[in-house]
A and B are shown apart, each in its own frame.
Chain A
């Protein structure tokens, strides 16, 4: 056994890599307190309080609910719980990489890279929500698929069905993963010794396991299927219609295609450098020059909205390039797994109005590094991978660092509310939240008051903090200010008219975007006694007659 293979399989190296893996996970937990999300995260946590009203992610809501019931609904605790699932996803990714390569140290080393990238370049991933759980479920589907491709038996087929069911229950639109599974079932050829009939049977087993487990969980959560369907009908989420999806897809296409073509431009120049330049020193200078040029070019791109998806686009570009390079090769295990990985990464984003920002990437990093390794003899891929990879990681890291620096430089630790205790925010975000806590907590604390929160957009943080979910349009994500929506204003008026006095109402107006006070707030001021009013917050009290 030569030195290389001895190192590749030695236990001390494995232990060292495991230690590095733990170390790599630390920064992610360290900076967990940073950033107060006032929209998405509290919305998801609110749904978890009453999981029945979140039929689009029933199991996610239930998991957070179960955690909340045991450990409390502090947002930071929920965030750490959800982050652990992200970490678990990367660990599963290492398992998948090992199953594909059968090289433990290589898989662990790739895992260290993935974990470190997740810890340092995790823009948005720190928020607890459906997408957090997809980071675990998708690698699970991937592992079950690899198991099935290796041993196409009834048991492994059932495990694929169960994994898909798990992914779907965590986030319903991720049901798209069954398309990937179906494609694997049809196109994966060499490993199969099965007849067409046997494949059909396995497909049936997968579908059976999927449906049976999904039904069982849904019935356990909702009582019956009709109740689940009625929950879906009653809890449609705003701004997630087909038109919104297409519109956001087009908006996001701008940075996506730009980053894609820039990376391919880098690849083109690398191809020229290695094909046409003979002298090593000139090559080196050209590569360094290209690195600098690419850095400055991508610095321009990073000014675009949503360009923070650079790492995710780079990942998909790499997957696409590998698929292109292997296009003439048969659909063997590795080739099929590569297709499956790209498909599963994307299927986690289906149904989101943030599309590519929601793709699952970090858990698949170990696998893609394994896929890339045999192609690294190709200079074009190797150097493009290095240049684009370094720059992509750097910019995503910078985005996080900038955000973190803001918090470290001017931290506003929100206090006085157990739900958001421990989370630090920027002054811009934290001060209004703190003000709301200061002015409205006395009413919440006084059991004599019947308290309500009325928001003007998707800033769900206030409802969450005060534990007062507004039942009118509880899933509103559209851009039109909510207080201008007639249905909402009518509902609020009715709710307050019928509320038992004394009642305290916190009305939160959209900061900055409005030129004058919303009509609903003016109306509330006319009807009830105003105890506080500024550009953002208004508190009115309905007194006993």
Chain B
């Protein structure tokens, strides 16, 4: 199928533009409803103090400091900012789609699809994190590289390589996005010699940019390495990530085979005569819906397997038609999308998908036959509908549908950082208690404060009370810190450096009260204790009251 050109702005374009605006506005709905207490506070706190301690994303940490200050580092404004960036990424994704199709309405329609799916099928995109900046840069690199493949203007590939180099410091593992301009340059050049020259040039620009930024931020590579040795994030070791990827790949094989199976069966069912066709299509949908809805595999990354399958299919269709350029663009898209999730310990959830929807649609529509398109449409519906159902079903509580307004009492007052943040019923009481009991000390300048975490989910309490503790501040292993002697020693040393009196909050949620809490109660002045928190005051020496 070929996509007809449509470059003029018409009534339909105007209507679609208005719809796109509405769809973009819809992306901000429910942003407060995602409960998350580890990644977001951790990443926001990288913007406090020395950004260089965030060794895997120093540029993001610096940007967080810049952006966060006017927003007071509050959770909800940061989330709104993140959402705006993701919408901007979708807009950037429209550029290559437009360049490929030269059809403004087509581009708008699929941008609307992406914007409509975004608030319901997003996984990690609700949160403010390094990925916000990484996604913007990855999309820009992709758009420039694609544009270069279509029209070879040197500035495009130079800028793409430079931005790819910058991506290294926005999120270190996303540095592999450098492959995108490299592939584009190598593909476009003719002859081996020119290809090698193009590759060397792109690589040089990439490393020069990265090097300049490194020197600008750290002064020298040695300083960076020193910071790295102290501040590297745990639970992201090569061994752990490779192990993680082993299981991810198995899940990915499974989901891709399932998607391929759905497509294959659908394409066969579509060959049936009309009477049987409808019966079998209905049958197919019921079976697919039961399977996908039941499979947890799709819950964590609902669109990733579909996205990968469709990208592979578009490559296949293009190669079959001897159209090498669309196949190369599909490859770039896969590499760019994957670069966002590379080395993450949360599998496929961080892949960039929504901004690529217009480009993907364009590639598929321009390479597939009508029957193939029908099969793909069925596959998309089969994968997306159950996810939408799950998302909507998740918000049906007590027989009352509350899609656009949160239930009463789900926000907790008393802490500016989490104002407007939906807190899950399971944790609401905990938040209320800790705010009520610890805020008086946290806001009283007479006290210094320290928060002892139990695990990575307790970063939220350091964040809420502006009490970032520099001990094991990049610790992401799943064991309990209360039993980690090195942490306890470091924490004790840290509180000794604080001016007394010091209010100490020991967080021990969802676990038995640890020995360290009892020890602190004996050693200092206990002021509050329950099953989740213990608050003690380290008094001024000689003043036990």
Interface residues of A (CB under 8 A from B): 250, 253-254, 257-258, 260-269, 271-272, 276, 293-294, 296-301, 324
Contacts and interface: CB of A to CB of B under 8 A. Distances in A.
Contacts of A261: 257-258, 261-262, 265, 288, 291
B295 A254 contact: yes
A324 B290 CA distance: 23
A297 B257 CA distance: 8
Contact of A257 (B249, B253, B290): B290
B260 A297 contact: no
Contacts of A254: 290-291, 294-295
B110 interface: no
B393 interface: no
Given A296-B249, A300-B250, A324-B268, A257 B257 contact: no
Given A299-B250, A300-B250, A264 B294 contact: no
Given A254-B291, A261-B257, A300 B268 contact: no
A69 to B, nearest CB: 46
Contacts of B265: 261, 264
Interface string B288-328: 10110011010000000000000000001001100000000
B243 interface: no
A454 B250 CA distance: 46
B287 interface: yes
B263 interface: yes
A271 B264 contact: yes
A264 B256 CA distance: 11
B290 A276 contact: no
18 contacts: A254-B290, A254-B294, A258-B254, A261-B265, A261-B288, A264-B260, A265-B257, A268-B261, A269-B257, A272-B316, A296-B249, A296-B253, A297-B250, A297-B253, A297-B254, A298-B254, A299-B250, A324-B268
Nearest to B251: A300
A207 to B, nearest CB: 30
B94 interface: no
The bracket for how many chain B residues form the interface is 20 to 34
B76 interface: no
Contacts of B260: 264-265, 268-269
B259 interface: yes
Contacts of A250: 290
Of listed B256, B287, B291, residue having the most chain A CB within 10 A: B291
Interface of B: 249-251, 253-254, 256-265, 268, 287-288, 290-291, 294-295, 297, 316, 319-320
A262 B264 contact: no
B257 A262 contact: yes
Given A257-B288, A258-B258, A294-B257, A265 B264 contact: yes
Contacts of A297: 250, 253-254, 256-257
A450 to B, nearest CB: 49
A387 to B, nearest CB: 11
A264 B375 CA distance: 14
B287 A268 contact: no
Contact of A253 (B249, B250, B264, B294): B294
B291 A257 contact: yes
Given A264-B265, A265-B258, A258 B253 contact: no
B264 A264 contact: yes
Contact of B253 (A253, A263, A293): A293
Contacts of A258: 254, 258, 291, 295
A261 B251 CA distance: 14
A276 B316 contact: yes
B257 A276 contact: no
Given A254-B295, A265-B260, A300-B297, 9 more contacts: A261-B261, A262-B258, A264-B265, A265-B262, A267-B261, A269-B257, A294-B257, A296-B254, A297-B254
Closest 4 CB pairs of A and B: A268-B264, A265-B261, A265-B257, A261-B261
Nearest to B309: A265
Nearest to A272: B316
A271 B264 CA distance: 9
Given A271-B264, A276-B320, A293-B253, A265 B259 contact: yes
Nearest to A268: B264
A263 B261 contact: yes
A296 B320 contact: no
B291 A253 contact: yes
A300 to B, nearest CB: 5
A253 B259 contact: no
Contacts of B294: 253-254
